[in-house]
Structure 1
Amino acid sequence: MHIDKQELIQSLIAELQQSLLNAVQAAKDAHDLATHDQSKAETQYDTVAIEAAYLAEGQSKRVEGFKQAIADWKMLKEKSLNGEAVVNVGSLVCVENEQEQVLYYLLGNEAGGLKLQFDDKCVTVISVLSPIGKALLGKEIDDEVQFKVGNETRLIAILEIH
């Protein structure tokens, strides 16, 4: 695997920062809608202002989530070392699945499910709270790892850890 993990994490942080900017704008728009004169209730059944307030609150929580994810990945980037022997938070793991496909996972606390195109490879960010994340923690190269997705059991083999 020839992926520079530091550059990969920096790319992830840049993507999260763009998502943060989008979320900040969405939160501002939702707040503006909630406080706009047109949103004031005209009858007891008019819920536009209430719905807009809920939307604004949800968007504000998204903003905080992105801020936390960025801070967490910046910390992991600083302490991240290549050549790790055991999978832990911040590890870049190359695995092979039962169909002999080679897959790349970046294990973290935040931003699970995000996919990054990097050096002609697709890297999936996985959370330590996900079934595969839990199964990978503490494993070593050549270990076979089983995990469940729904009712289906899957098997992967660890090829490399960085």
Structure 2
Amino acid sequence: MSSQIPMTRAGYERLQEELKHLIRVERPRVVDAIAEARSHGDLSENAEYEAAKDRQAFIEGRIQELNDKIARAQVIDPAQIDSDKIVFGATVTLFDTETEVEVTYQIVGEDEADIKEGKISVTSPVGKALIGHRVDDEVQIRVPSGVKVYEITDIRYE
């Protein structure tokens, strides 16, 4: 039996939009590309045909993957969470005790993680280390460059 995949409403909607785009736009486009490549004759030496078939296989695989993730999605609305601890969906502000720099991350599902947007996966080393902690806790997190020590200065659910 498959396990549920936690994600925010925004992450769930992004997956649905990608699925719609693949089904409505990309799938018909690749079918047309295959038909066009077939019209050029000999398929054994037809690079366009091979590329289109590869693209089709990728699209169909991604459609299956998205359908599976959407079916197993456990949508969590951070605004509905009332906790003083860090749990999935929390937006956490951390103070790096070494560099004295403050950073803010939202803890999200794997498919939503994007460090440029300040979103880290609940399954990442940082995400795992933060879960269950409270404001003013000091957290040691093992990162590739060693151990970072952060003080939790704020937890929000929005």
Per the shorter chain, which TM-score range? Answer: 0.5 to 0.7
Q: Which residue of 2 aligns with 1:38?
A: 37
Q: Which residue of 2 aligns with 1:148?
A: 142
- Alignment deviations for residues 42-64 of structure 1 (CA, whole Å, 9 cap, x no partner): 25344443432332333344456
Matches of 1:156 and 1:37 in 2, distance apart? Answer: 57
Per the TM alignment, residue 32 of structure 1 is displaced from its structure 2 partner at its CA by: 3.4
Q: Which residue of 1 aligns with 2:114?
A: 113
Per the TM alignment, residue 127 of structure 1 is displaced from its structure 2 partner at its CA by: 0.8
Q: Which residue of 2 aligns with 1:138?
A: 132
SS in structure 2 of the partner of residue 44 of structure 1: helix
The letter for the 2-side match of 1:156 is Y
Tell me which of the two structures has the higher relative contact order, counting C-alpha pairs closer than 8 angstroms and 6 or more residues apart.
2
Q: Does 1:125 align with 2:119?
A: yes
- CA RMSD after TM alignment: 3.5
Per the TM alignment, residue 39 of structure 1 is displaced from its structure 2 partner at its CA by: 4.8
Question: After the TM superposition, which segments of 4 or more aligned residues of structure 1 sit over 4 Å from their partners?
Answer: 9-24, 60-67
Based on CA coordinates, which of the two structures has the bigger radius of gyration? 2
Per the TM alignment, residue 132 of structure 1 is displaced from its structure 2 partner at its CA by: 1.0
**Equivalent pairs, count:** 144
SS in structure 2 of the partner of residue 153 of structure 1: strand
SS in structure 2 of the partner of residue 103 of structure 1: strand
SS in structure 2 of the partner of residue 158 of structure 1: strand
- Alignment deviations for residues 32-88 of structure 1 (CA, whole Å, 9 cap, x no partner): 32x32315772534444343233233334445666747x848x21177324x22211
SS in structure 1 of the partner of residue 76 of structure 2: helix
Q: Which residue of 2 aligns with 1:88?
A: 87
Gaps in structure 1 of 5+ consecutive residues: 1-8, 117-123
TM-score by length of structure 2 reads 0.64
Change beyond 3 A, Cα 1:22–1:43: closer
Between the two proteins, what is the percent identity of the paired residues?
Answer: 21
Q: Does 1:29 align with 2:23?
A: no
